[in-house]
Amino acid sequence: MSVDELYREVILDHFQNPRNKGHLKTCDFHEKGENPLCGDSIDLYFIFDNDIIKDIKFEGNGCSISQASVSMMTEAIKGKPIKEIKAIIELFKEMMLEDKINPFKDNFDLEDLGALEGVKNYPVRIKCALLAWNTLSELFKKIAEKKP
Amino acid sequence: MTENKELTQLGKNIRKDFPFYKNNPNISYLDSAATSLVPRDVINKIIYYYESLGVSVHRGVYQLAAKTSEIYEDARKKIKHFLSAGSEYEIIFTRNTTEAINLIAYSFEKAKDELNELFSGWKGGLKTGDIVLISESEHHSNIIPWQIISERTGIKIKYIPIVKETGALDITAFNKIKNDLDDKDVKIISLAQVSNVTGIVYDLKPFISYAREKGSVFIVDGAQSVCHQKINLSDLSPDFFVFSAHKMLGPKGIGALCGKKEILNKMPVFLGGGDMILSVNKEKSTYNEIPYKFEAGTPNISAVFGFSAAIDYLEKIGLQNISDWEKKLTLYAMEKLSEINIQFFGPSLEQVKSNEFKKVGVVSFGINGIHPHDIGTLLDENNVCIRVGHHCCQLLMKAWDVPATCRASFYLYNDFEDVDNLINGLRKTIEFFGTHNS
């Protein structure tokens, strides 16, 4: 177990050059996520086109893992329908919380997500990697509850 | 120069007393403000209890029980002596500082006219609009219990603000608060003696004077002070002084409430059960006298034994020696940290050097652009254990507008080498994130 496993190049790249970072003034949904114990926080802004996430932006503060993870997530889900995204959330959580090996290995689109696999070896940091994904799940729950 | 000679005995030279180092020879443990390491003497005393006595206190008529009770009760005397607490004080064993504050809060919630005679501001108990005065830099354990009873009694919590630059209690703001509270009943004032984040030793005299003026109860949270400096309760004379053994080389899960007997005698009971009663009837029972009145159930006897051994050990080394040693380490650490690109949370190096601020071996800091959790993980990789996070002081973090800080804390077994390891680790951390930055 080495720290390079945790802080892979691609993670540091997302941390230092975050994708989709910013604010959406007019958006369909805004969801806030926090890890109060470590002070990681994110704000997710969404524009939907029916079931598809047409645009997503995030603002956030926190450790490199939490901020890289949210950056990766926005890239992974932008332009995709909720159903497909839910499947990605499932895969991601399985990778982080269960003993599943990286399911994104040969998926060009989602390859970056696999870099977070190394966080598993640092149990106290798993919640940092999951923050964005739990926040997204919360939003989907709310959307599902609203629907008749 | 006997003082210097004694000083050189600390740090690396006393690690032989701490079995932790035998099993973790390469670790720089810089998190004693969270919990301290434990010397062999303390561990042996716990083993002694379980191997040689192992029976309960206060009940058995047999000799083993008598001997156990004697050592257990002797610990109370030792603690009182350690705190220079006079005969007006009594020791109640609790699980820790947190439980001690909860005990006081819950008992006060129930207290009505019993305390009128002792505190002119009490006036029949806690009522809507009454004030509990604490500070922004308190540990959550000195905030939450008051919030819980505030929900049920309607009392209001007033916070003494901090001076942002240093983390010190803002005396100017306190004087303004005093004016604002002129027509209010300030029932309780509860303050930490030392901040667990900045390490500042607060001068509590102005606050206790105010408490006496307003007829309020005055509580001192000594969790971070008792381990670093000689406490003199006869001099300060608070109503309560609460602390934990585990920050002063003792076992986890045992702490003490040192309170004035006249108050404890009148306070309503906290937990009910065995040991705290005199006679039990179907309808109503009579309670035992203090300290037993507040110690329901079989206590953590082995931990009390260990607590007692920790005090023996600290007294053998001498708190002045420990304090002098910590100061050297702290100044060395602050000097070295100043050489790299860090920000201190708390007094500056100059302010500590010039004795403008009295400070124990606790240093909080941050590095611009690197989150404390990333720093903590990378330091761990270099065998350096520090605390990163909000240190159970979210109000202080909010006052500073930061989510978290890094905190290195020093104790008698730490040495200059530990500081060097910290600095090397931090340099590597900066390099690691810096390289990837460019």
Domain ranges (residues) in chain B = 3-30+318-437, 45-314
Tell me, what DSSP letter sits at residue B33? T
Number of Cβ within a 10 Å radius of residue B437? 12
Residues B8-26 have pLDDT tens digits of: 679 999 999 999 999 999 9
**What is each CA distance from B148 to A37, A66, B93, B136, B153, in whole angstroms?**
20, 33, 22, 17, 9
- Select the CATH number that applies to the domain covering B3-30+318-437 from these four: 3.90.1150.10, 3.40.50.300, 1.10.3720.10, 3.90.1300.10: 3.90.1150.10
CA distance B395 to chain A (A): 12
- Of B290, B235, B211, B305, the closest CA to residue B257 belongs to B290
- DSSP characters over A66-87: HHHHHHHHHHHHTT-BHHHHHH
Query: Which structure tokens are listed for B177?
Result: 């608060």
Answer yes or no: do B389 and A37 touch at CB < 8 A.
Answer: yes
Helix or strand (DSSP H, E) at B163: none
Query: Which structure tokens are listed for A98?
Result: 């269960």
Answer yes or no: do A62 and B381 touch at CB < 8 A.
Answer: no
Q: What are phi and psi of A87, to 5 degrees?
A: -65, -40
B8 touches chain A (CB under 8 A): no
Positions in chain B short of pLDDT 70: 1-8, 435-438
> Between B370, B381, B404, which is nearest A38 by CB?
B404
**Distance, CA of B242 to CA of A124 (rounded, Å):** 31
Answer whether A96's CB lies under 8 Å from A120's CB.
Answer: yes
> Tokens 């830099």 map to which residue?
B137
- Of B437, B351, B429, the closest CA to residue B166 belongs to B351
Query: Which structure tokens are listed for B37?
Result: 């390491």
Is 90 exceeded by the pLDDT of residue A5? no
CB-based burial of residue B283 (10 Å sphere; 0-12 exposed, 13-18 middle, 19+ buried)? exposed
**Angle B306-B312-B317 from CA coordinates, rounded to 5°:** 125
**Distance, CA of B261 to CA of B288 (rounded, Å):** 14
- Of B370, B387, B346, B348, the closest CA to residue B432 belongs to B370
Cis peptide before B39 (omega within 30 of 0): no
> Tokens 């007829």 map to which residue?
B215
User: What ranges make up the beta strands (E) of B164-309?
Assistant: 186-192, 217-221, 240-244, 255-260, 277-279, 286-287
Nearest CA in chain A to B402: A39
User: Which residues from B are below 8 Å from A65, CB to CB?
Assistant: 373-374
Is 70 exceeded by the pLDDT of residue A122? yes
Q: Which residues contact B321 (CB under 8 A, 6 or more apart)?
A: B3, B6, B7, B9, B10, B412
Answer yes or no: do A64 and B371 touch at CB < 8 A.
Answer: yes
User: What is the torsion angle, in degrees rounded to the nearest 10, for the CA atoms of residue A105, residue A111, residue A112 and residue A116?
Assistant: -30
What number is the ipTM of this complex? 0.86
Answer yes or no: do B374 and A37 touch at CB < 8 A.
Answer: no
**Distance, CA of B167 to CA of B199 (rounded, Å):** 9
**Distance, CA of B182 to CA of A115 (rounded, Å):** 60
Answer yes or no: do A12 and B433 touch at CB < 8 A.
Answer: yes
Contacts 24+ apart (CB under 8 A), B260-264: B260/B88, B260/B89, B260/B90, B261/B88, B261/B89, B261/B90, B261/B290, B262/B88, B262/B118, B263/B115, B263/B118, B263/B217, B263/B239, B264/B90, B264/B92, B264/B290, B264/B291, B264/B293, B264/B294
**What is each CA distance from A1 to A118, B98, B237, in whole angstroms?**
9, 37, 53
- Of B348, B382, B384, B385, the closest CA to residue B365 belongs to B348
Instruction: Return the pLDDT at B228.
Output: 95
Answer yes or no: do B389 and A39 touch at CB < 8 A.
Answer: yes
Task: Please tell me which residue in B227, B258, B385, B392 is annotated as part of the active site.
Answer: B392
Inter-chain Cβ pairs, chain A and chain B, closer than 8 A = 47
CA distance B359 to chain A (A): 26
Residues A54-104 have pLDDT tens digits of: 999 999 999 999 999 999 999 999 999 999 999 999 999 999 999 888 999
**Domains present along chain A, CATH in parentheses:** 3-146 (3.90.1010.10)
Instruction: Return the pLDDT at A106.
Output: 84
- DSSP characters over chain A: --HHHHS-HHHHHHHHS-TTBS--SS-SEEEEEEETTTTEEEEEEEEEETTEEEEEEEEEES-HHHHHHHHHHHHHHTT-BHHHHHHHHHHHHHHHHSS---TTTT-TTTGGGGGGGGGGGSGGGHHHHHHHHHHHHHHHHHHHHH--
Instruction: Return the pLDDT at B437.
Output: 46
Answer whether B134's CB lies under 8 Å from B191's CB.
Answer: yes
Amino acid identity, position B225 = S
The residues facing B133 across adjacent strands are B158, B189
* pLDDT: which is higher, B24 or A144: B24
**Distance, CA of B354 to CA of B344 (rounded, Å):** 17
Q: Which residues contact B372 (CB under 8 A, 6 or more apart)?
A: A63, B366, B388, B389, B403, B404, B405, B406
pTM here?
A: 0.92
CATH top class, domain B45-314: alpha beta
**Distance, CA of B196 to CA of A31 (rounded, Å):** 34
Instruction: Return the pLDDT at B438.
Output: 40
Residues B231-242 have pLDDT tens digits of: 999 999 999 999
Number of Cβ within a 10 Å radius of residue B331? 16
Instruction: Return the pLDDT at B54.
Output: 95
B402 touches chain A (CB under 8 A): yes
Q: What are phi and psi of A56, to 5 degrees?
A: -145, 140
